[in-house]
Every structure is written in C-alpha cells, then in structure tokens.
Amino acid sequence: MSLRRIAALFAPYRWQLAIVTAVIVASSLVGLASPFLLRAVIDTALPGRNVRLLAWLVAGMVAVAAVTSAFGVIQTWIATRVGQQVMHGLRTRVFGHLQRQSIAFFTRTRAGEVQSRITNDIGGMESVVTSTATSIAANLTTAIATAVAMAALSWQLSLISLVVMPPAIYLTRRVARLRRAITTQQQRELANLNVTIEEGLSINGIQLAKAMGTGPSLVRRFTASSARLIDLELQSQLAGRWRMASMSIIFAAIPAVIYLAAGLPVTAGAVTIGTLIAFTTLQNGLFRPLTGLLNTSVSVISSLALFARIFEYLDLPVEVDDPLHPVPVDPASVAGHVRFSAVSFSYPGADRPALDGVDLDIPAGSTLALVGETGSGKTTLGSLVARLYDPTAGQVTIDGVDVRDMRLSDLAAIVGVVSQETYLLHTTVRENLRYARPSATDADIEAAARAAQVHDLIAALPEGYDTMVGSRGHRFSGGEKQRIAIARTLLRDPRVLVLDEATSALDTETERAVQQAFNALAAGRTTITIAHRLSTVRDADQIVVLDHGHVTEAGTHASLIADRGRYAALAA
C-alpha cells in the first residue's frame, strides 16, 4: 500500500500543516539559542563576575523557554485539530461507504467485524494520524538545526556523535516490520472479540444463551480471545525491545566518549569547558529527536496494517448504487405500475437460481399475492422491487422506468417494505415512527398508528408515544412490533407496498383488523403481499404461485381453486 494514499488524507489541510511546520521551525531555531547562552554563562559571565551580562543571559534563557512553550501550545492545538478532522473524515467515509453496500455484503460479513473496523482500527490509527506529521516535522527540524549547531561548536566531536546513526536506522526498520505483523494479528483478534460481544450480549443473544445453557461456553470463548490479546500486546511492546535498549546504551555512551576524548592529553585544552557542556547539551537535544524519528517510523510502519484494513473497506465495490444518469422521477406522481420482465436472480455461491425467467404485470393500484413453499423465491421477488438486490437478468420497472435507473432515495420514497423480521431502534415509539419521515407531525404519527391498529396500545403505555421500545423493540411482542413497523412504513405513504409476511406474528383478531386497514389503504396504491396464510390473500386481484423460482400458476382465488392445481393443494 502506497504511503501516498495516506498522505492524501492530509491534503485538504496543507495550509494548516504549513503553519505548524513554520511554528516548529521557529521553535527549533529559538531553542538552539539556549546552549550558546549556557556557554557564555560558563566561559564568560561567571569567570568574569559580570553580573549585568549574567542577568541578560539568564533572562534570555527564560525568554527562550517561554517562547518555545508558547510555540508548543500553538503547534499542539493546530496539529490535534487537523488530526481529529482527518479521523472524522475517515470515519464518516467508511460509515457512508458501508451504508451503500448491498444486503449481500452484510449477509456474508459478521456485524462485530464491521464495528471493529470503524472503532478499533480507526481508533488505533488516531495517535498516528494526530501526531505523526507534526512529530516528523518537529523532530526532523530539531535534528537538522541541532546538528548544524553542533558542527559550529566542534565538527570533530560531531563526527563522534553521528557514528551511531547507521545501526540505529537498520535496527528500527527491523522492529517496525515485526510490529506491523503483530498489529495485523491484534486487529483480527479484536474483531473476533467484538463478534463475541455482539453475539453474546445482544438481547437475542442473551435469550439464546440462557435458553441453550451456553453462557459458560461464551465466557470461555471471550476469555480465550481476551487472553490472546494480552499475549499479542506483550509481543508488540517487547518486539525488538532489546534492540532499542542497546541503542539507548549507545546513545548514553557517546557523551562519555566525548568527555574522554576532551580529557586526553592530546586534546586537552582544545575545547573549553563551556563548549564541552554546550556541545553535550546539544547532543542530548539531538538524540531525543533522532529517537523520536525512529519511534515514529516504527509507529507509521506498524499502523500500515490498520490503514490496509480501512482501505480494504473503502475499496469495496458498491453493488447496488445510484445510476450515473438517473431518470428524474417525482415520487408523488408515480402511479405504481410494477412489471417483472424475464427476471432471474441467483445468490452468490448458490447451486440454482432463486428466480428464473419471471414475468409479472401488476397494474397500478392493484394487489398481487405471492404464495409458495419456503425457498420458492417470494421474498427475493419482493426484494427486487425495493432494489435490495439487482436481478442477474431481466428488469423490474415501475411506471415503465427500470428501478436501476432511479435514484435510490426516489425508489425508497416510492416503495415501502414491511418484512416478517421487524427491527426497531433503541429509542422512543415516536422516534421509531418518525424515522420513516423526519418531518412528520405528531398528528401524522398518530394517524399512521391508528391505521395500523396500534394507537390504542401505544396510548395505554405509561409514557405513551414517548415510551422507550428497548433493545430491538424487546419491550413489545412480535405482533406489536410488526404493527409499529407497519405504521412506520405507512407514514411514508409509498405508492408501492411490499408486505413480506407482514401479519405473520399477529393473532387472528388483530390480523383481521390490520388487514381491514390495509384494504382501506390499498386504494390507489400497488400492494405486493407475500404470505403463507392463504386467508390473507383470498381477495387479491392476482395470486401467483412460485415454485423453485418459477411461476407455476397465476389467477384469482376462485380460478385457482377451480383449476385444482398447486394453489388448491396449498389451500386444502
């Protein structure tokens, strides 16, 4: 993976980074005055008992410290702000890109894995993104300026100081490669941990664990994953530690060698005490940025594993996306004429197509019922209308426009789906309903709830529409959740309704009431009903029987009963 792609994340903030770099350079140049002031104090002011000069030199030292501290605050503020903006942009890009992924992606990807990429991987990059650019600039500028100052004081002693650089660079690269491999393993293990949390601590997961008695085994699985993370963190922290420790010893030994060289009979008197102290002070100032640069390179190289995982998600192709040249559609003026023309669809890896050459014509305002055994393709057919998937062959049109040629937002306004698997957000009933149409008034919400035969239930709650539904709507029964979901869809007033087993969790009396509401609301809109209970589809304008992805029968309830075919057998 090219570092150029990582650098591109900072491109929008080039001016802020230029200001930070200028502040760093200024701070480094000002800071270099301290050793020279120190030399003047030791070699001139103190021996000559020049109090006035000493006062000026001491004031200069304090001023240098104050100015560099002020520069440091400015540098930290700008750098942190830029880093956080880069992180914000990366998080929102990943989340937005994942929102555009098809249902198939989320079917084959663990939810905990997706969450881990957004939280753990991007979170692990935060320190690198926030501090790396300024750390490199600060350390590099300081190192260059310090090296120049050291050469100005004594080029001979400077050569002794720089002899440590080649082995330091070599060892650092070795450590960086080792840590990158360990980081990759850490993020995979964190993803596994997230999956265990998602599966074991969700309301449905807890219910399953208690019902099946698998709680202890989940604890053991979590414990083993957590223990592996301990080992990986130890490996990461200790990777190459002995190499870096040896470098620290060498860095500490260099000043001792310089003192020895200055005290040898051959070189005695060639360097003043003030120069020697100023030089070793500069040398310590050189080793710090050099060590910082080496450590930064380790962090950057090891973080490439995190960037690779994030860019892997950003590079995912969008299987169901807005068309390049969308057909302009006004959802309010759509009649709702739905047509399936030679539609076929196959799920990835399936040994046979879910739908094969389906032709259906559903006039605007009419009702179509899809019946058939489990796996016959009913839900798949309904999903293609809402473009949760794209057909592998043929086309699905609404008012003559291929749904693939519409903007996804327009299609979502035209087609409403109520499925048998109801999902409610962990918020109030009111906000769950308003999720379908944020501009809806309280009166609109109550009208939709009344139509779905759920208003009286909600009004009877202690806090009414402001009652929290709980995680995944667990406060309500299956039938109550479905009625809330029906109200949520009706609030959008779609021209085409897809009801996928929408009344499957309702008791007979409630089902009859909701069906009456649907019959009243179906006037002027196209309704596609997927049902196992044939009692819910008797009055449909058209009933289609599916079998292994093929249309085997089509007609009204009476005509299909008279034909004594597959439908008659199902109705028996």
Percent of the chain exceeding pLDDT 70 equals 70
Indicate whether 341 pLDDT > 80.
yes
pLDDT at 208 over 70: no
pLDDT of residue 397: 94
pLDDT at 405 over 90: yes
pLDDT, tens digit, 9 for 90 and up, residues 522-550: 667 899 988 777 777 788 889 999 988 89
| pLDDT given for residue 425 in this prediction | 78
Domains of the chain from N-terminus onward: 3-179+243-314 (1.20.1560.10), 331-571 (3.40.50.300)
Neighbouring-strand partners of residue 367: 527
Q: What is the DSSP string of 299-352?
A: HHHHHHHHHHHHHHHHT---SS---SSPPP--GGG----EEEEEEEE--TT-SS
pLDDT at 188: 74
Where does the pLDDT of residue 268 fall: very low under 50, low under 70, confident under 90, or very high at 90 and above? low
**pLDDT single digits (tens) 347-400:** 887 788 899 999 999 999 898 999 888 888 888 998 899 898 899 999 999 999
Longest dimension (CA), the chain: 122
Dihedrals phi, psi of 284, to nearest 5 degrees: -60, -40
What three-state secondary structure class fits 257? helix
Looking at residue 487, its pLDDT comes to 85
Q: How far is CA 174 from CA 101, 102, 216, 545, in A?
A: 39, 41, 42, 66
Q: What is the pLDDT of residue 270?
A: 61
pLDDT range class, residue 269, cuts 50, 70, 90: low
Provide the pLDDT for residue 476: 78
Give me the numbers of helices (H) and strands (E) for the chain, helices first please.
22, 10
pLDDT reported for residue 391: 92
Give percent of the chain with pLDDT exceeding 90: 10
pLDDT of residue 345: 93
What are the tens digits of pLDDT across the range 113-151? Answer: 777 777 777 776 766 666 666 667 667 777 777 777 667
Whether pLDDT at 313 is above 80: yes
Give the highest mean pLDDT range of 154-163, 294-303, 438-447, 482-491: 438-447
| Dihedrals phi, psi of 397, to nearest 5 degrees | -120, 150
Nearest 5°: the CA angle 198, 202, 205 is: 95
Question: Residue 201's pLDDT is what?
Answer: 60
| Of 168 and 325, more confident | 325
pLDDT at 112 over 80: no
**Secondary structure string (H, E, C) spanning 408-474:** HHHHHHHEEEECCCCCCCCCEHHHHHHCCCCCCCHHHHHHHHHHCCCHHHHHCCCCHHHCECCHHHC
**More confident site: 159 or 9:** 9
Task: Say what the pLDDT of residue 290 is.
Answer: 67
Specify whether the backbone of 46 is left (phi greater than 0), alpha (psi in -120 to 50) or beta.
alpha
Contacts 24+ apart (CB under 8 A), 189-192: 189/225, 189/228, 189/229, 189/232, 190/116, 190/120, 190/229, 191/110, 191/112, 191/113, 191/116, 191/117, 191/120, 192/112, 192/225
Look at residue 64 and tell me whether its pLDDT is greater than 80. Answer: yes
Looking at every residue in the chain, the average pLDDT score rounds to 78
- The region of weakest confidence among 173-187, 372-386, 425-439, 470-484 is 173-187
User: What pLDDT score was predicted for residue 34?
Assistant: 75
Contact status, residue 103 vs residue 389, Cβ threshold 8 Å: yes
pLDDT at 282 over 70: no
Residue 518 has pLDDT above 80, yes or no: no
The alpha carbon dihedral of 53, 59, 63, 66 has a sign of positive
